[in-house]
Chain A
Amino acid sequence: MSSNLSETINKVLADTRSDESDVRSATAPHQRDFPYDREEEAQVTRREFCNFLGLTSAALFVGAAGFAGKAAFDARRTPQFPSSKIEGAETLAPGSSLNFRYPTTKDSAILVRTLDGELHAFGQKCTHLSCPVYFERAHQRLECPCHDGAFDAKTGNVLYGPPPRPLDPIKLEVRADGEVWAVGREAGSSEGLI
């Protein structure tokens, strides 16, 4: 009984063995269904590899040109920012922070109330490689966890680390009943387009 069972298992395993385990050999049914020369298919010729490198070069060129073009296009246009109320900002305790979305729901931002009670808001993307910065309470500064960069919580200026420019500041407006509104956003000290 047990020998029958093991025979059956072996038979099933043999029948269903995938030919992907070894590209140079295949079971008879697979070879019948896909009758190509596996030995030849498993190799890449020098010419094919050269063509692949050519395509890669084209893709890298298009990528660089596209990225540069988009950055230049974004810098040229002057977007209009809507006013948006920051929920919960009026009750924010000194020495703490609050995350919100501005100007669109895709853009994360951070509002900081410093120990002296002043409010400051910045885009949350680190200017190095776009990691989200967070408010470090112990040192009262904004830090980037990815590459150990830090920004001043009042001005957004770079304190240390790899970020090449300050954080993008968000203009704030305190309205009636202490409501805090975001009314605009700037690029942190960017150079002009050529």
Chain B
Amino acid sequence: MQSEQIKARPIRNLAGKGRTAVAQARLILLVMVNVAQLWILAATVEAALAHRFSALLPLVVASGICFAVTLTLIFWWRPASRRFTSSGYLKR
């Protein structure tokens, strides 16, 4: 038992680092999508003021896709390490 714990420790650390990296990547993706949506909103305002109505629908659709991606990232795309538990031991 004692020897198993000693062996498992490095694996646990690696799994924890991997989860952190995935969580950070998820956060960065969310920020990037938000920035893209901000740009789309600015383009929508400019197109509306310029009466370029043919550009409005694609811009709104693009913003909607970004929102869908955000929802996907928040609700489904979560970091998960299934092979090892949070304590670092193999699941039975």
Contact = CB atoms under 8 A, between A and B. Distances in A.
Interface string A53-87: 11011101101110110111001000000000000
Contacts of A71: 48, 51, 53, 56
A129 B38 CA distance: 17
Interface of B: 23, 26-27, 30-31, 33-34, 37-38, 40-41, 44-54, 56-57, 59-60, 63-64, 66-67, 70-71, 73-74
A104 B70 CA distance: 42
Contact of A46 (B27, B41, B46, B57): B27
B66 A61 contact: yes
A18 interface: no
Contact of A127 (B33, B50, B73): B50
Contacts of B26: 50
Task: Please classify the interface of chain B as helix (H, G, I), strand (E, B), loop, or mixed, using the class held by over half of its residues.
Answer: helix
B73 to A, nearest CB: 8
A56 B40 CA distance: 13
A130 B53 contact: no
Contacts of A64: 37, 40-41, 44, 59-60, 63
A14 interface: no
A53 B32 CA distance: 10
Contact of B44 (A54, A68, A165): A68
A61 B63 contact: yes
Given A57-B66, A65-B60, A67-B44, A51 B74 contact: yes
Contacts of A193: 53
B40 A127 contact: no
Closest 8 CB pairs of A and B: A190-B51, A71-B48, A164-B50, A57-B70, A60-B37, A68-B56, A61-B67, A64-B63
